[in-house]
Structure 1
Amino acid sequence: MRIGYTLMTEQAGPRALVEHAASAERAGFDFEVMSDHYFPWLDEQGHAPYAWSVLGAVTAVTERVDLMTYVTCPTMRYHPAIVAQKAATVQELSGGRFTLGLGSGENLNEHVIGRGWPPVNVRHEMLGEAIEIISQLFDGGYVDYVGKHFRVDSAKLWDLPEQRVPLAVAVSGKQSVQLFAPVADTMVAVEPDAELCRAWDVFQGGTARKVGQLPISWGVDREEAKQRAHEQFRWFAGGWKVNAEIPGTAGFAAASQYVTPDDVAENIPCGPDVEPIAKAVEEFRDAGFTDLALVQIGGEHQADFLDFAKGELLPALREV
């Protein structure tokens, strides 16, 4: 299993993210993923730069690592034809290292355009149409499209990369797997769910790429690391079916007001030790994931974490 690093736009500004990207490559991570948000989850995180500008800069300071959006919603804030253009450009800049990760989005980020937030079945319909449009544009030539949710009039990607951009799609259950596994190259999920992996493999085969994500709060003082995880990541406890619906940081603060530091620490490895992290990584490996991106909680703690990853964590995980 390949181990990646998360460039979490909700907890660091654009210049810091670019520095973290270069440092993570030097530390030995295999790939890097980047969130694409208009809002942080909580006020305490305090950031939300434009991911695509940051990705362009990241391509200039890295040479080896694969890059990926984790994930972009191509249905409301962005029209799918524009997402295809952005993805093709990043693929060109990166020399073929980019995967376009897509998902049906969260109210948190999409409400800003003032169109309201559709129910999940409609969001899946919209994502399906968006993937059709993006795939047709990646095929080359002019594209016209008339669907239930989108129209495209004579669009064309004029800078089409030599290496086609792979598509990854975030899924959370059998319904989304059945909808998107036939039209994507890679699965994205945030829980070590073996059933999801098996369902995806029915369509893609056992060698298909399946990318997970694991938040950790590394630090030499376990209590401080636990408090930091609670302060910045307690929103995670709601689960994606809830998290997709809440429209703002105040809502996430209210929804997580009864989540305690101990509750968070039960689900997120906290402190200086490799063993709890390795155990959590093994759960994804055993479920069938091929790739796992780590999230170090706390934007100001990235440099020390990357030193730890290079010297201790990554060698230990590769032994496992």
Structure 2
Amino acid sequence: MPEYGYFLSCEQYGPAELVEQARMAEQAGFEALWISDHYHPWNGAQGQSAFVWSVIGALSEAVSLPVETAVTCPTVRMHPAVVAQAAATAAVMAEGGFRLGVGTGEALNEHILGDRWPPAHVRLEMLEEAIQVMRRLFTGKEVNHHGTHYTVENARLYTVPEEPVPIDVSGFGPKATSLAARVGDGYITMTPDEEMVTQYRKGGGGAKLVSGGTKVCFGHDREECVRTVHRLWYNEQLPGEMGQVLPTPRHFEQLEPLVTEDMVRDNVVCGDDADRHAATLREYADAGFDRVYVNQIGPDRRGFFDFYRTKVLPQLPH
């Protein structure tokens, strides 16, 4: 049976708000936390983008829930040796309750230093090599690595957890899912796609952790919720590879007219129908997920947590 977690959005909320949401999530009965890792928000209306590693340090002191990045790109903006140090420290502070979620990233966050944004197949190669580097560093031994994409010389992490940090790999298509099955300690994907879960498990993932997440907008006025989602998160309704290749929030804002309120109404849970909220999360359970995370888009955070504590979580299989 799945565990249910809360998804903290660094793109929409400032650091203090994220920590307070984590406290409310724990009190409401959520069992784990996801937190996004961005340099930019998707658009200006979201308006935030805190440095995730600072927030994780605060979370480790504020709550006892396990935390995972969803997801970090350890390939372009940050060298895998630096990500490994950050992740190891986070795991020590969380007393082992930290997992590193990784993926191939988006140009939105990763091109900021002027590096070339590679095509998808190269990004997958870079991610695999980055995982190899980080795993070696998590041992606490000195690492020298001269690979296709990365060089590490005389690097050693002195602050490491008792057990190596688990690395879960994000995948939304067959190639990335295959990589997750081959090299990951777990698998992350955002839709309740039973075929992808089956591919992961049969491709080598076996019984390892499979996690997924969704965004909802709780509120008593459903149409106002639809408008809120359309204003803040229309980017999630954009098709194809635009999410991976567009370089700035401004470019995403230019595409807002492509997304209608009807698209939001059809694809995002809005309002206060507890059965609909529960049914959406149950789809992940039915598809074989082990952890399911949910994020509240709307402004009524206290109402959301009370609603899930009393009306939604009790309906779900645990």
In structure 2, the residue corresponding to 1:293 is in which secondary structure? strand
SS for the counterpart of 2:245 is coil
Instruction: Identify unmatched segments of 5+ residues in structure 1.
Output: none
Q: Counterpart of 1:108?
A: 108
* Structure 1 stretch displaced more, 65-74 or 171-180: 171-180
Question: Shift of residue 221 of structure 1?
Answer: 1.0
For residue 214 of structure 1, report the CA deviation from its aligned partner: 0.9
In 2: Cα distance, 1:102 partner to 1:193 partner: 19
Letter matched to residue 113 of structure 1: L
1:303 Cα deviation from its structure 2 partner = 2.2
Task: For 1:224 and 1:3, locate their aligned partners in 2 and report how far apart those are by CA, in whole Å.
Answer: 26
What's the counterpart of residue 260 of structure 2?
Answer: 260
Q: Which residue of 2 aligns with 1:159?
A: 159
CA distance in 1 between partners of 2:183 and 2:206 (Å): 16
Aligned to 1:66: 66
- Shifted more, 166-175 versus 51-60: the winner is 166-175
Which residue matches 1:88? 88
1:304 aligned onto 2:317: no
What is the rounded CA distance, in whole Å, between the counterparts of 2:287 and 2:306 in structure 1? Answer: 29
The offset of 1:275, in angstroms, is 1.4
1:262 Cα deviation from its structure 2 partner: 1.5
TM-superposition CA deviations, 1:138-178 (whole Å, max 9, x none): 12311110111110001111011112211101011221122
Give 1:278 deviation, angstroms: 1.7
- Whole-Å separation in 2 of the counterparts to 1:47 and 1:315: 32
Name the residue aligned to 1:191.
191
**Alignment partner of 1:212: what SS?**
strand
User: For each residue in 1:106-165, what CA deviation from the matched residue of structure 2 results, as whole angstroms up to 9, or x when unmatched?
Assistant: 011112111131111111111111001001111231111011111000111101111221
- Aligned: 1:5 with 2:14: no
* Matched residue count: 317
How far apart, in 2, do the equivalents of 1:239 and 1:96 lie?
A: 37
1:168-227 per-residue CA deviation (whole Å, 9 max, x = no partner) reads: 010112211222322111100011111110111014454221111111111011111111
Offset, 1:311: 1.9
CA contact (8 A) 1:70 1:101 kept: yes
Runs of 4+ in 1 over 6 A off after TM superposition: none
Q: Which residue of 2 aligns with 1:38?
A: 39
Q: Residues of 2 paired with 1:239 and 1:57: CA distance?
A: 35
Query: For 1:247-300, what per-residue CA distance to the aligned partner results, in whole angstroms no more than 9, with x for missing partners?
Result: 1112112223121112112111000111111221122122211111101113x3
Which deviates the most, 28-37 or 282-291?
Answer: 282-291
Structure 1 position 317, deviation (Å): 2.3
Q: Which residue of 2 aligns with 1:216?
A: 216
RMSD in angstroms over aligned alpha carbons? 1.4
1:187 touches 1:209 (CA, 8 Å); kept in 2?
Answer: yes
Shift of 1:239: 4.3
Contact 1:229/1:265 (<8 A) preserved: no
Shift of 1:55: 0.5
SS in 2 for 1:113: coil
- Choose 84-93 or 114-123, whichever is displaced more: 114-123
Partner letter of residue 281 of structure 1? Answer: L
- The one-character-per-residue Cα deviations of 1:30-77 (angstroms, maximum 9, x if unpaired) are 1100000011111111110111100000000012x2110000000111
SS, match of residue 316 in structure 2:
helix
The answer for the alignment partner of 1:273 in structure 2 is 273
Residue aligned with 2:111, SS: helix
